[in-house]
Amino acid sequence: MIDPDPHEDDRGRFMRVWCAREFAQYRIDFTPVQANMGFSARKGTVRGMHFQEAPALEAKLVRCTRGAIFDVVLDLRTESPSYGKWYGTELSAINGRMLYVPEHCAHGYQTLEEDTEMYYMTSGFYAPTAVRGVRFNDPAFSIQWPLAASVVSEQDRNWPLFECRTHS
């Protein structure tokens, strides 16, 4: 979780959304190569849980620029003490928080408001053949989404259950 340090005055607010020096201080090796925006019209929309496999691994820095989301990172790093665990938090245009998603972790979110917009930077280029996913409602993880899912893509509804997957 990255909490911004905004500068506010009568004009509004200014804050950095990425700084190599600050990331280096926290020992996070992240160099963005691509920036993406996503828009969801309906409250309750779920997108995820997505990741890219080697050789197209990617880390992400995620931010909500309009509306609000419940953002989730699922640790799929087999050597990690938090393997198989998820972390969720609210990101909104108002709180300005950002979430860093390491390589080998799945990412997804649910919109908490209508007309929600996301902005995220990735350390790797989009590689359709490397895209994988974990079902958003997989009982192996029991992610506690705050709302009933109103819209979920066919792909996200049909990712295989994790326990049936081959791990590498």
- Residue 12, strand partner residues: 9
Q: Residue 65 and residue 69: Cα distance in Å, rounded? A: 10
CB 136 within 8 A of CB 108: yes
Candidate list 50, 104, 107, 109, residue with the active-site label: 50
Token code pair at residue 82: 């938090």
120 counts as catalytic: yes
Peptide bond into 160 cis (omega under 30): no
Token code pair at residue 27: 């020992």
Candidate list 104, 107, 109, 120, residue with the active-site label: 120
87 counts as catalytic: no
With tokens 């081959």, the residue in question is: 166
**From its phi and psi, is residue 3 left (phi > 0), alpha (psi between -120 and 50) or beta?**
beta
Catalytically annotated residues: 50, 120
